[in-house]
Amino acid sequence: MKITPIDITNKEFKRTMRGYSTEEVDEFLDEIVEDFEALYRENANLKEKIEGFNEKVNHYAAIENTIQSTLILAQNTADSTKQQATNEAEAIIRGANERSNMILDKAADDVELLKREYEKYRQEFASYRRKVRQFLEDQMDNFNLLSEELDKTPKTPLLKVAPPRDDVAIGEEAAEG
């Protein structure tokens, strides 16, 4: 049981013949009551302050929990965003590599096609050159043959052609000549 200042004030003691002086006891009890009341009030005030501090501590603990949860969420979001960015970067790189490989393959195919076309045109040119050379050689042979035949044929004087007349058409001159 807790003793309150009121309990001390209202306390009655039995009177005996040889007991203490009631005035001194009452005065002493009054002093104790005053001190006890002061201590009681101070204790109550301190309990209120402790309660207020406990509320603040609980409030700050809740804020700390919220901040920790927010930090964890922010970290998770950052990690997730980083992972997503990494995945997207890898996908972009894979796509670029695939496109570059396709471009390189097409370029290699185009080069191969151009090589085949070049070889075809080179062969056609070589064939054409042989044909032209053969044609020219044949023409030179014909020319030489004709030249030899001309050298073997007797030489005849050239025919004289009369100057054209103004009153006769060219076709008639040919018929007369």
| Concatenated DSSP letters of 103-157 | HHHHHHHHHHHHHHHHHHHHHHHHHHHHHHHHHHHHHHHHHHHHHHHHHHSPP-P
pTM of the predicted protein model: 0.41
Give, for all 177 residues of the chain, the pLDDT tens digit.
677 778 777 877 777 777 777 787 788 888 888 888 888 889 999 999 999 999 999 999 999 999 999 999 999 999 999 999 999 999 999 999 999 999 999 999 999 999 999 999 999 999 999 999 999 999 999 999 988 888 887 776 666 666 666 665 555 555 555
